[in-house]
Amino acid sequence: MYLAESTNGLVALKLGTDSMSITSEVNVLKHFSKVQGQVLGPSLLDVDDIVTPEGTFPFYAMEYLKGDQLIDYLQNRGAEWLGILMIQLLGDLSRLHSAGWVFGDLKPDNVLIVGPPAKIRWLDVGGTTLIGRSIKEYTEFFDRGYWGLGSRKAEPSYDLFAVAMIMLNTAYPKRFEKQGEKPVLFLKQQIDQKSMLRPYSDVIIHAIQGKYTSASQMRQDMVKAVSNKSTYKPKPVKQHRPKVKHKQPKTKNEKKSSYFVEIFLLTSFLLLIYILYLFGQMM
């Protein structure tokens, strides 16, 4: 993959030695452009061959997307964006699956956060496969076959397993290897150790176990998880303060009032983010 200049600005250029592979990716990008709804992948701009002394090589140019990697974005903006971005990703996957395709090699390296407003865009469509066929490209950590939790048949649940593992990867940037004979139990233990994953624990486990048959089902549960997380009110922590001779009931009331104001503002802010996101999805 190369960054190139055109008369209309920067473009991403992919050069290959396998004409069949390049042709397949071009066909996928062409199909994406016909899918109703939001743009799923980069826009295809041009297809051609380059002639060199070493031979003729096929290439295609596509839209250059400038943004942040998913893990970097969450580290900079906050873990509260995880659920919102996954809702968006699941909506895009639902449209892709309805068109008869599975993304296949779904992982943080193959998505980018662009904006504002923040939006997930797909980068590399090389692993995209027609439903019913065998997955042609995969990365072990996001592959249910590697974990012994399903086949490599191209079906919606394959992508949904990868979404669950993407969420785990955001909490474990260096990833981890499988251990023991009980992968579900092991993965659940990894989830429980990270506070950013606990609100979505049930959704992640369901996806890992293959209980979702469609991206829309998982998306609905993710919306509920985000909603429950945004309305959660932590219990106040009791602090032991030294006794003072002069009681000041008015000051205590003011502190108590200030505490609830902070909770109210925090809750309102999270709800506002969620409402704005849903509004954006309806546009």
Question: Six-digit token pair at 204?
Answer: 């992640």
Q: How many residues does the chain have?
A: 283
Could you list the pLDDT tens digit for every one of the 283 residues in the chain? Answer: 788 888 888 888 888 888 888 887 887 777 766 655 566 667 788 888 888 888 888 888 888 888 899 999 999 999 999 999 999 999 999 999 998 999 999 999 999 999 888 989 888 888 889 999 999 899 999 999 999 999 999 999 999 999 999 999 999 999 999 998 999 999 999 999 999 999 999 999 999 999 999 999 999 999 999 998 765 444 444 444 555 554 555 454 554 555 565 666 666 666 666 656 554 554 4
Predicted local distance difference test score (pLDDT) of residue 1: 78
**Cβ density class 153-169: b for 16+ within 10 Å, e for less:** bbbbbbbbbbbbbbbbb
Residues 269 and 216 in one domain: no
Instruction: For residue 105, indicate whether it is catalytic.
Output: yes
CATH of the domain at 87: 1.10.510.10
Which range marks the domain in which residue 12 is found?
A: 2-63
Predicted local distance difference test score (pLDDT) of residue 249: 52
Q: Which helix (H) or strand (E) holds 17?
A: none
| C-alpha distances in Å from residue 66, one per residue of 1, 3, 112, 117, 152 | 14, 11, 8, 13, 32
Residues 115 and 151 in one domain: yes
Q: Is 236 exposed, middle or buried (0-12, 13-18, 19+ CB in 10 A)?
A: exposed
Predicted local distance difference test score (pLDDT) of residue 235: 43
Active-site choice (92, 105, 124, 143): 105
Residues 135 and 212 in one domain: yes
Q: Which helix (H) or strand (E) holds 13?
A: strand 9-15
Q: What are phi and psi of 11, to 5 degrees?
A: -135, 160
Q: How far is CA 83 from the centre of its chain?
A: 8
Question: Six-digit token pair at 142?
Answer: 């996001």
98 in any annotated domain = yes
Residues 169 and 260 in one domain: no
Residues 191 and 221 in one domain: yes
